[in-house]
Amino acid sequence: MKLVQVPSDESTQYVIEVKDLVKSYKGVQAVDDISFAISKGHCFGLLGPNGAGKTTTIEIMEGIIKATSGQVLYSGKSIGKDISQQIGIQFQSTALQDFLTVKETLNLFSSFYDNTLPHEELIELCDLKDFLDRDNRLLSGGQRQRLLLALALINDPEIIFLDEPTTGLDPQARRNFWQLIKNIKAQNKTVILTTHYMDEAEQLCDNVVIMDRGKIIESGTPNQLLAKHFKNVYIYLPKEQVPQELIDKNQWCIENGRVEITTQKVEEIISLLIAEQVSLDGLQVKSPNLDDLFLKLTGHSLRE
């Protein structure tokens, strides 16, 4: 069995270990013999397109469905019946009770657990104070997600599962939500995040597993993975600014009306362009990201 390698020292503590996990549905292998470990206090990302198997993996880890084979260990022990009292979950889709306010919803969910966080702490942590008395039906997308995050934290869990929590949010709401996750992680809680937004993973995750068709195809820290698979950066210029003979001489590519230059030596390329009196208006320098990595590994985009 091969576990995900994460930065560690003598005090490293795995709060979750997934070992040789398999889940089959009528001939379809949704999860195909995967293994990884998650360290305490880390944000761990399960990445992949729809159908990659990440949600099935998460649901097995949460104790919602059973694996065909393999096991999930919490601090070295198998999942018990009381697991729901120990973890917090924000599902992809959660129905909130109509005609209840945010405050009333917090009260309702508190009644489901033996131990809960004080509401004042939840309200501050998830920034709910401005709409506590608002009916759930009137919440914006960002407000709804902040309430759902509060509900996932209501039993003060050490481990929080977030299944694509920012899907459908506008850019500002997504970034506000990222800050909430960083605040939670700062309390030394462990966060397991599934997402198909790679900028989100790069911002939040200490370690990631990339899944495709039920298998783990790569794992490590975002920086490690990018350094492993990419040595070059990309320089883009509008095609009309670059003489054709210069393009042909250097075998540069044309991509969507732009000249694409792949290089490890950005300063040398820019010096060459200046020497050739090429205008640098509109010049872009782009480093590869996790989207590029997934495309390289699988041949199709993460967001398909």
Kindly tell me if the per-residue pLDDT of 6 is higher than 60: no
- Answer whether 137's CB lies under 8 Å from 101's CB: no
Report the percentage of the chain scoring pLDDT > 90. 69
DSSP state of 48: -
pLDDT average, residue stretch 71-88: 86
Among 150, 158, 164, 162, which Cα is nearest to 96's? 150
Lowest mean pLDDT among 75-89, 166-180, 233-247: 75-89
Residue 301: per-residue pLDDT: 55
What CA–CA distance (Å, rounded) separates 225 from 219?
A: 7
What kind and span of H or E run contains 248?
helix 244-250
Residue of 124, 103, 263 whose CA lies nearest to 183: 124
Q: Tell me which DSSP letter residue 5 carries.
A: P
The mean per-residue pLDDT over the stretch 63-85 comes to: 88
Q: Among the listed ranges 2-11, 35-44, 206-215, which one has the minimum average pLDDT value?
A: 2-11
CATH topology (fold) of 14-228: Rossmann fold (3.40.50)
Q: Is the pLDDT of residue 92 over 90?
A: no
Is the model's pLDDT at 302 over the cut of 90?
A: no
Query: Is 4 a residue whose pLDDT tops 70?
Result: no
Domain with CATH 3.40.50.300 in the chain: 14-228
Phi, psi of 194 (to 5 degrees): -105, 140
133 has pLDDT over 80? yes
Section 267-288 average pLDDT? 93
Confidence (pLDDT) at 153: 94
The residue among 80 and 300 whose pLDDT is bigger is 80
**Residues above pLDDT 70, as percent of the chain:** 94
